[in-house]
Structure 1
């Protein structure tokens, strides 16, 4: 039978599987392979070489970037653990008033773009920051936010919610009889925590730590805004790409490969550590929250609420700044709406583009999330397993890497048929697709396939059974995944900076450029618009998640 005949006789879900693999091959595998291939190409001769990697690991410029990336990523992750683990322990084991408020603020911190936090800290602790100026009135010179310590601070306060949320979930599901047994044997509270509790929740802590580490390695906006000469691999890759415009971006690609390797090695190390030990236990004794009194209770509440308020401080500063009266880039005292008037006058295209690109990507994500989730959950084949594995790849590949892969694959060659706007939409789609797939997959796993099978047995075509029966049942998961995808897509900076042109500038890029130009009022107004969109989506996610949970009770 010819290939054409086989295609005609292919059943619906086999054809969908082939379509999914083709899309992932074109938009995910091909750009990454292109990046990996260019790392071994000599920019002058076009021949095969290891010289690019030799240069990266022997030249101080690149070695310092490697060390700096590792330094801020490790310290940022450590800081997130030192803040997030106690916060999770207190809220899971003791009665903490306002626990819902704490979780909500933590999630808002999580979804706000990190480069906005970096910009806000400049407003507070920069050379002319209001905290810096306040202490200067008393003759006290405070260290500025610029440099490695500032980047670590932003990473710590930005990423600790990953540790907090995952560790709290694990603590809530832990068998408390182990802790009770340790207490009966005379262990102190600190010994119980370090020898019993912490090892049992290590999988959750390590998973959150890996996410923090990977995001810190990939982050471009924070070191670009706060670095002031402190270069990381992400800023070096971006600079190398800009300097190699017109030729093969071999050094940018080589640096990007090193970033990918660091993330993958961290994930591999975590998997190896978890594989050596068992962490499972039966939940025969659910944890019960204790009520404490006195100074310990006061200290616990001050810590829990203080951490999330400090983490939210940059967001509050950004919103406050947006309402300060300005004359161009200069603040002239008092409050006004000049900054918002300016964005409507000078940056309407950035606002429009951000919404158009993000919403277009979300439409694609929603369609493919439904199809991919069905293939993963309902089709037990090698192809579905491969698709499930490929859904992990966008988490590990930094935005700079994917953007360079898109440029080298779809520009200047036989596939150069898509404009910049189309490339940005496709890039947002493939990078944020896992958010939609994971959410929809979770919904689909809770639904028995009997209703779909009944519809097919009654004569409905598989496509019709899917649209009429399955899609309405997984709609809450689709909506939550779409909202999470929109949040991350509209805040995308690093990949957009590489691809955008004059007609496709977005809000994150406009904010980044405004901060570099000292236009803090304009940056504050745009950031506030972006934060309002993000906050509205977070609220919607909570509402849909609550509705979905109640539907299955």
Structure 2
């Protein structure tokens, strides 16, 4: 029975994860009925592709730089100073995570565009509009969304630094700046590199912000070009596959570099004794400056895009601008009017997301338990690698692979351009979340309970139903909710996989924004953000805080 489950798990993962990704490599070198590696080289060496690749690298590095200016001081202020209300600051800084990047990009676009809210509220700052609609604006938008990755990485490292290391530096006459440069910075260097590479990978993989804002300024990156080749006529899967392979190769090289840096520049910061923690006392002036800095980050990362999205969703006539008589709730009433396009999109969103989350929870639980057993052997290693593979590859690349695999006349199950294809795509994309939750939970479980169940005559299904599932239920629910959150806000899969004539909330927001009907799109965006916040709060409540069962 155990061998049959292992074989089925490997076959399913090969069928829905590995083979579609391998097909990307095949289509990259397949040209005119034969395999020719030269075709791949010729494709990626064209001026257009080289320019797009350079744009992607440039955007990634610039986002790292700006994110560093935001995240490094913020992490130090929150962890190493005596500033109050740190828990509230953490919540504020994580709000950008609740908002999909394409919605933030839309909010900034509406706020900064000609005759936008900036010019209406602060006409003297209208000179900023043409300067914002450049690469600078795209870097600002993406940095304000992604910087929490680096902030969290640095924060977790700073918390572990023992006070004795800093006190030893001060005892030998070192100044604060010298201690910062010679003690603290070397200790957090590895975490900084990890955070920086995560930011670069997220930036290189991001589709929503470059598709909404980058296209307006004529700045194209690999993800938007991949989408162009599979969505605009003539469709060219060969070029899309070549660009996908180029993007995947770049990401894998960076992952390898990250692991190298982590292993070479990691330090043991936690010892056997209780570690003391040093807080730097701030003067009143320093506290005032720190709060001003936090307030500015909050306004730019959350305040401005949220204001633009909410205000736009309430406008009756776009040209009349912000005024009391120009506010209406008609867009929201349309969302909940049965039969309307917005209502149908909302229903499709919940239907697809809930079904995908249920299937992901079921499949992820089985794989997580297999991985959590920690047994050695090739089958277990393959299941571990295959199940987390979609989390290490850009989402648009995974979607391309699924299209190549299922959009063929030889496919025995014709699910392409159907409701089932959308659900399968979401399952593949978000499977790693549930797998990791359940695997971590199962590893912490005391397996004496399973042995006791076996001793008293329980079969595998009984032990699974009465012991394993109840103990790991919170992990399963957390995986379900996380899948629900990301599937509601997923854009690239919705645009590429949804059957003709069918929309969900993400594709509805995107299409309404592109067509100039911004109020309807932003009303849907507000509802999506509201649902996401509720689900995140619920996920926090279900966080696994159990101690190991003895």
User: Would the aligned equivalents of 1:132 and 1:141 in 2 still touch at CA under 8 Å?
Assistant: no
Q: Which runs of 4+ in 1 moved over 6 A?
A: none
Return the alpha-carbon distance in structure 1 between the equivalents of residues 266 and 153 of structure 2: 18
* Structure-2 residue corresponding to 1:85: 72
Alpha-carbon distance in structure 1 between the residues aligned to 2:208 and 2:330: 26
Under a length normalisation based on structure 1, what TM-score does the superposition of the two structures give? Answer: 0.91
Write the deviation string for residues 445-499 of structure 1: whole angstroms up to 9, x where unpaired.
Answer: 2211110111012111122212210111111122222212211111111122111
Whether contact under 8 Å (2:114, 2:129) holds in the other structure is: no
CA separation of 1:106 and 1:499: change in aligned 2, threshold 3 A? same
Is residue 156 from structure 1 mapped to residue 143 from structure 2 by the alignment?
yes
Structure 1 residue 408: Cα displacement = 1.1
Match of 1:436 in 2: 434
Contact 1:16 1:371 in 2 (8 A): no
Cα distance in 2 between the residues matched to 1:52 and 1:164 = 42
How far apart are 1:440 and its partner, in Å? 2.0
Give the total of aligned pairs: 537
What residue is the counterpart of 1:372 in the other structure? 367
Moved more, 160-169 or 340-349: 340-349
C-alpha displacement of 1:266: 0.8
CA distance in 2, matches of 1:190, 1:370: 49
CA distance in 2, matches of 1:140, 1:318: 19
Partner of 1:287: 277
Counterpart CA distance in 1 for 2:515 and 2:367 is 43
Separation (CA, whole Å) in 2 of partners of 1:166 and 1:274: 12
- Contact 1:135–1:142 at 8 Å: present in 2 too? no
Of the three residues 470, 479, 482, the one matched with 1:481 is 479
Distance in 2 separating the partners of 1:291 and 1:107? 25
Quick one: which of 398, 403, 426 aligns to 1:402?
A: 398
Question: What whole-Å deviation, never above 9, does each CA across 1:406-440 have from its counterpart, x for those lacking one?
Answer: 11111132225215211111111111111112222
* Secondary structure in 2 matching 1:392: helix
CA RMSD, Structure 1 to Structure 2 (Å)? 2.2
2:518 pairs with one of 517, 520, 544: 520
The 3-state SS of whatever aligns with 2:132 is: coil
2-structure distance, mates of 1:472, 1:412:
42
CA contact (8 A) 1:121 1:145 kept: no
Inter-partner Cα distance in structure 2 for 1:263 and 1:329: 44
Structure 1 stretch 432-441 or stretch 446-455: which is displaced more? 432-441
Q: Look up the SS of the partner of 2:34 in the other structure.
A: coil
With 98-107 and 505-514 compared, the bigger mean Cα shift is at 98-107
Q: Hey, what does 2:464 align to over in structure 1?
A: 466
Moved more, 193-202 or 223-232: 193-202
Task: Decide which of 263, 275, 280 is 1:275's aligned counterpart.
Answer: 263
Q: Distance in 1 between matches of 2:246 and 2:432?
A: 23
Q: Which moved more, 1:249-258 or 1:171-180?
A: 171-180
Task: Give SS of 1:495's match.
Answer: helix
2:113 to 126, 135, 154: 126
Q: Retained in 2: the 8 A contact 1:362–1:429?
A: yes
Q: Which residue, out of 240, 243, 247, partners 1:259?
A: 247
| Closer/same/farther in 2, CA of residues 144 and 531 from structure 1, 3 Å limit | farther
Among candidates 342, 346, 358, match of residue 351 of structure 1 = 346
Counterpart in the other structure of 1:384: 380
Q: Which string of whole-angstrom CA distances, capped at 9 and with x for unpartnered residues, describes residues 212-258 of structure 1? A: 21111111111111122111111111111224656x51001101111
The corresponding residue for 2:300 is 310
